[in-house]
Structure 1
Amino acid sequence: MITTAVVHIAAGVSSRSRFLVVVTRVLLGAGRVSSVMTWIVAETCLDVAEPGAPGRSPARE
């Protein structure tokens, strides 16, 4: 359920920093994960949402 919400947020947010703030608040508010895990999840979602964005590793073939 949380993963689905994160993916929907990723699709609708273009600013990387704003996205990280939103995801952090959502996941920490759920009280299910630590702050470190929150950042890992956020970065992973960004890699999926923006595969060609500057500063990101290129998409694997």
Structure 2
Amino acid sequence: MNQTDERLLTSGEVATLFRVDPKTVTRWAAAGRITSLRTPGGHRRYRESSVQALLRGEPEPGA
């Protein structure tokens, strides 16, 4: 699967995986802990591979 086909997660979905508030996920992105993409409407989306790597305590793929 290439990066353009990869599933994108919302802040809420990422927050559920980490059991934190969605605002925490937004702060992580602002601090550079996890890479986010912006939708045309300005919402953050997170690549599933980046989230899974963070869950495993590994660096983001391609970082």
* TM-score past 0.5 threshold: no
Q: Larger C-alpha radius of gyration, 1 or 2?
A: 1
Structure having the higher strand fraction is 2
Higher helix proportion (structure 1 or 2): 1
TM-score by length of 2: 0.28
